[in-house]
Amino acid sequence: MKSQQPRAVIHYANAEDEATGEAYSIIRFCKVGNRIGEMSVPRADLLDQGEIYKRLIDHNAALLLTAKRPPTCLVDALNAPPRTRILHASCTGWRPDLRAFVTRSGTIDSVADRVRKIMPPLVGKNDAWVPTTPTGDLAGWKKQVAARCAYSSTGMVLLSAGFAAPVLKIVDHPSFGINIHAASKAGKSALLVSAASIATVGKESDLPNWAATPAARGEICRVYNDLLLPLNEVGLAEKSKSRIYDQFRHAIYSICEGRDRQRHSASLFATGAHASTQRNIFVSTAEHSVDYYARLAKADRDEGELARCIDLAATRPGFETVIDRFPPGLSHEEKTNWAHRQLSALHDACAAHHGVALEPYLRYLMRDPKAVRRQARRYMDEFIQGVPTERLMGALKHAAKNFSLIYAGGRLAIDAGVIDFNEERLLKIIRWHFLASTLKHGRGGSSAPKGDALAKGRKILSKSLRGGSLRQRGRNSTFSETDCEGFWFIENGRKKIVVHAAAFRKWFEQEPESRVEILRWLRARGFLVPPQTRSHGAGGSSGLEERTLLWPCGRLVRSVVFYDPFLPG
């Protein structure tokens, strides 16, 4: 009877950990029962082939048992050169040549003949929980996720931010964040999952959240390097509302610093300089703004902090959810029900399709990084040209650049064929959201106190526009100032409103300071249509904002004219 022949053993790879510089060998072998096994050993252990033989036996390798010496097949395999070379990247994200991008599930590489195959970082205990496997397909993601996000102006901003994160390194832009806030059950988390589904998770339960410790948050930042970093629900922070601002402020600075905290070299969590740096666009969700938490803490936000993270209202005035675009012909109740159905469907769609939009987008960016850099900067300039930056304080000028990068990310995703948003609408929406997010900040930059006249003025104006007797101007309209308080019409894609000056003053008769502040704000941000010649009328300083206009009835009426500041575009 013939003795059992030794099975194949292969010196498969020479591998190196970029973070530590340590090397090891990967040995592949047949197990008992014709299964394939793999074992990693430090490279120096190749000098003791007898010890490797014992370890292979313990791993159930189908090798002849001999007490004298290792089998010849093992000796020959260990002495043979490795079939491939592997480099485990020190961190996820872009490689220095911008020709490869490392994710937790693998590497997207545009260089076919790279000497060493680039692999994800070796998994540590703190980040092993991060989901890594893409699910579904791009066509399904575009139809079921991206298309539904187009029903929400905030959704379009967040998806654009998700595509902007990989552009940070390309245009050399620092990390930043936005905090989207709205009442509970408005759909914030559904949009956050949608933005995260571009590259990573597809379920709300898998999102990183504010319950993480500061140290864990640093680890999470490294995992999401060059990607959108979702931070769900500030309410999960383990502090009272009045103390949340301290945690928020520390997180903003630490994330945007782009570097993990320095530790003693002997620490198990110590990392090399390259591995400890990261670039992120983080998106936080909360029921309240950062400014709200700052007021509870009796603190003023620093300009540096404001420049790094700005608040963005997730819902527009008059809408119950983040959905603010509907099919025609729906009643108010039907719109609400339809919106909730879309949000529920969005959760299901993200679970079915996530992590599939990143690779085609990155391969588009990798084709010609220099050309992408030039195009991204052109898109950023296009955004900035429509923002009155000369009237903004320094922190908000920096925030405008952040939003310009979000717009550039959305436009590049359109160019790559990953999303099908309308370019003109996208520009109007992101620009409007930025301008709306600056409302509470004056030129000096301090956050508005609770009883601020401008904040009250915004509330009064929004309520009056929704509940006031404003008519839509048609071709055969003949109404006068005695029939209504004003009228509106669409001009160059924007909603233009004309209000009888006396009615406008009546709206603010209980808050005259708010009237002055709201007119000043409308004028400063380009919403107010000023008179061609200055004329003094009733109402003190507001007379400078009033103009005589021909109404549909054919009469000249003293009016205030402005574009709707509560609608995108």
pLDDT confidence of residue 128 = 47
User: What is the tens place of the pLDDT at every residue in 266-292?
Assistant: 443 444 444 457 899 999 998 888 888
Instruction: Label the pairing between strands 280-286 and 227-231.
Output: parallel
Instruction: Average the pLDDT over 216-237 and give the result.
Output: 80
pLDDT confidence of residue 440 = 58
pLDDT confidence of residue 269 = 42
pLDDT confidence of residue 544 = 59
Ranges of H-type helices in 9-124 = 49-58, 72-79
Contacts of 265 (CB under 8 A, 6+ apart): none
H or E element that contains 524: helix 512-524
H or E element that contains 178: strand 176-181
User: What is the tens place of the pLDDT at every residue in 76-130?
Assistant: 888 999 999 999 998 899 999 999 999 988 899 999 889 899 999 886 544 545 5
489 strand-pairing partners:
496
Yes or no: say if 569 and 429 are a contact pair by the CB < 8 Å rule. Answer: yes
Instruction: Average the pLDDT over 404-430 and give the result.
Output: 96
Instruction: Tell whether the model's pLDDT for residue 442 goes beyond 60.
Output: no
Instruction: Tell whether the model's pLDDT for residue 427 goes beyond 90.
Output: yes
pLDDT confidence of residue 1 = 41
pLDDT confidence of residue 3 = 44
Instruction: Average the pLDDT over 202-231 and give the result.
Output: 80
- For residue 417, count other CB atoms closer than 10 A to its CB: 12
**What single string gives the DSSP state of each residue in 482-499?**
TT-SEEEEEETTEEEEEE
Give percent above pLDDT 70 in the chain.
Answer: 86
Number of H helices, E strands in the chain: 19, 17
Kindly report the pTM of this predicted structure. 0.76
Contacts of 393 (CB under 8 A, 6+ apart): 303, 441, 442, 443, 444, 445
Instruction: Tell whether the model's pLDDT for residue 535 goes beyond 50.
Output: no
- pLDDT classification of 63: cutoffs 50, 70, 90: confident
180 strand-pairing partners:
285, 312
User: What is the tens place of the pLDDT at every residue in 444-493?
Assistant: 333 444 347 888 888 899 889 887 689 988 877 788 888 899 999 888 77
Instruction: Tell whether the model's pLDDT for residue 142 goes beyond 60.
Output: yes
Top-confidence range, 139-153, 181-195, 431-445:
139-153
Please give the structure tokens belonging to residue 41. Answer: 């050993």
pLDDT confidence of residue 482 = 85
Closest CA to 127 of 231, 239, 220: 220
Instruction: Tell whether the model's pLDDT for residue 332 goes beyond 70.
Output: yes
Mean of the per-residue pLDDT values for the chain? 84
- For residue 34, count other CB atoms closer than 10 A to its CB: 8
| Strand, coil or helix: 312 | strand
Angle in degrees, CA 158, 459, 307, rounded to 5? 40
- pLDDT classification of 164: cutoffs 50, 70, 90: very high
Closest CA to 180 of 191, 172, 171: 191
pLDDT confidence of residue 375 = 98
Top-confidence range, 162-176, 198-212, 434-448:
162-176
Backbone φ and ψ of 9, nearest 5° = -130, 135
Residue with the two structure tokens 């107010």: 528
| Rama region for 445: left / alpha / beta (φ>0; ψ in -120 to 50; rest) | left
CA pair distance 101, 99, nearest whole angstrom: 7
Contacts of 471 (CB under 8 A, 6+ apart): 477, 479, 483, 484, 486, 487, 488
Give percent above pLDDT 90 in the chain.
Answer: 45
pLDDT confidence of residue 483 = 87
- pLDDT classification of 263: cutoffs 50, 70, 90: very low
- pLDDT classification of 384: cutoffs 50, 70, 90: very high
Output 6 or 346, whichever has higher pLDDT. Answer: 346
User: What is the tens place of the pLDDT at every residue in 489-524?
Assistant: 888 778 899 999 999 999 998 888 888 888 888 877
Instruction: Average the pLDDT over 363-377 and give the result.
Output: 97
pLDDT confidence of residue 530 = 74
- pLDDT classification of 441: cutoffs 50, 70, 90: low
Least confident of 159-168, 242-251, 402-411: 242-251
Q: Using CB atoms within 10 A of its CB, is residue 50 exposed (0-12), middle (13-18) or buried (19+)?
A: exposed
H or E element that contains 371: helix 369-385
- pLDDT classification of 297: cutoffs 50, 70, 90: confident
- Strand segments, DSSP code E, in 225-379 are 227-231, 280-286, 309-313
Residues 181-209: b if buried by 16+ CB within 10 A, e if exposed: bbeeebbbbbbbbbbbbbbbbbebebbbb
